[in-house]
Structure 1
């Protein structure tokens, strides 16, 4: 009965997402770092009408294939935000995937595990395990989806931006059993109003608390402050933020950009004057469509051919 209820919740969640295509389990067998507990995943609609999924313990990828005549071989893994407490399934998930499909890019929306001592042995590594597994899975099945393995990127929003930037800065450490020859590095990143730093002065405290606890050691704060983890091998990156973001301070983006510049990693950015936090594809305060700028950057950089 519990399994049927779990399946029903998953189907309800994704039936609410327009144009969703194939939903596949992230792990075909057992989920690593996972406790045997009931699936309590649930979807809610926020006051603003946005679908938010909570208590995720069974991660999935939803595959969005572009029209064959548009497909260009590029792929992107979409990581919605939600403070490591919820996942914004539509405005930072399926809507973004559809926009990439319009560009001819194959998109994969990652429904990642949310940190929990109830569902995981070590909650802080659950999300990065899922991000790395998504990269591995997309490259493993590249032929099936007609994807170029050397053009697999990642895009993250808010706390999803923290997870994406973790994938882009911690790829030399395999959090999953992937084998020595598996490439876990995203080829490019797009980070939209991202949580980057876990420093006390500028961090989004909710994201930090949910991922590494309310009283993390200085070493843990540094480990997950991704501006401190940038190297010359960090993927090329496009950054988007609004100066008046009071939820995730713009200094997060600026610190990451500074680290990229210092390490001579190619990057570009667009900084809105207004727009706050969580605007998704459309910042209503501006006529500038940041995804149009991302498309130009991806084309110029050779990710879209």
Structure 2
């Protein structure tokens, strides 16, 4: 990930639950603006099993979005040893932050999407199913903003925390050993979908050996039952963690499809 772009801290003081003051304790965004004003923005959430953040799922994605005229932000969210709710708190704050400062970047505050990969896809889907309208009485004006994204884009995502389709490494890093069953249920995104859930673009590969494709299917089924607009693309073959998939021309078509979907929805 680029070291030349400034990291924008999401809190002026310590983040809630911060265990120190190093980079890994400080949730932050890198901004990738575009010249055209009034466009919607996308917050990019790299994957990494809630234990790290994969560089190829960060800046390259933001630069692709810039290439199609969409401003982007890459999120540095907290990972293990941090556990829930820290990552969710971070992505919710990122949405509020971008919405609050939309005028500064010439962004449409009513068009803020989140796009994430693998465990970052779980965090993206969590943002799309666990949100609030902001606290109007908050001292911090950023906390008065809604953290509901206007669209979410989970890419080969972890969706469920339940057997048999859970990615166990992600669950371990996020929830620890032997998590409470109510917590497992509440962070299984397919159980949180309602008719108010924002539209989604989902893609996966059918033979993913790391995160089973059933994760994407569970989410799509929940969206369908609740009559939430969504688009689902399941490619026949492709390893986990492809990112832009520049080495696989078939799967690489996801970027064109996603870009068209975002444009159609007003980005």
What TM-score do the two structures reach when normalised by structure 1? 0.81
2:134–2:146 contact (8 Å) kept in structure 1 = no
* CA shift digits 1:70-128 (9 cap, x unpaired): 45511010000000000012x10000000111111110000101132xxx5xx310001
2:14 pairs with 1:24: no
| 5+ residue gaps, structure 2 | none
In 1, the alpha carbon distance for the partners of 2:178 and 2:165 equals: 16
Number of residue pairs aligned between Structure 1 and Structure 2: 262
Q: Give 1:85's aligned residue.
A: 51
* CA shift digits 1:255-299 (9 cap, x unpaired): 000000000000002111111200000163443520100011112
Per-residue deviation, 1:220: 1.3
Match of 1:291 among 255, 258, 261: 255
* CA shift digits 1:126-157 (9 cap, x unpaired): 00110011001101111010011100100010
In 1, the alpha carbon distance for the partners of 2:14 and 2:239 equals: 40
1:157–1:192 contact (8 Å) kept in structure 2 = yes
Higher RCO structure (Cα 8 Å, ≥6 apart): 2
In 2, the alpha carbon distance for the partners of 1:38 and 1:164 equals: 25
- Give 3-state SS (helix, strand or coil) of 1:249's partner: coil
In 2, the alpha carbon distance for the partners of 1:138 and 1:22 equals: 15
In 1, the alpha carbon distance for the partners of 2:99 and 2:80 equals: 26
In 2, the alpha carbon distance for the partners of 1:244 and 1:284 equals: 17
Max Rg structure: 1
2:14–2:21 contact (8 Å) kept in structure 1 = no
Match of 2:186 among 220, 223, 228: 223
In 2, the alpha carbon distance for the partners of 1:227 and 1:132 equals: 19
2:159–2:188 contact (8 Å) kept in structure 1 = yes
Q: Give 1:159's aligned residue.
A: 119
2:134–2:145 contact (8 Å) kept in structure 1 = no
| 5+ residue gaps, structure 1 | 1-12, 42-55
1:71–1:105 contact (8 Å) kept in structure 2 = no
Per-residue deviation, 1:21: 3.1
2:62–2:72 contact (8 Å) kept in structure 1 = yes
2:58 pairs with 1:129: no
In 2, the alpha carbon distance for the partners of 1:71 and 1:244 equals: 40
Per-residue deviation, 1:163: 0.5
Q: Give 1:98's aligned residue.
A: 63
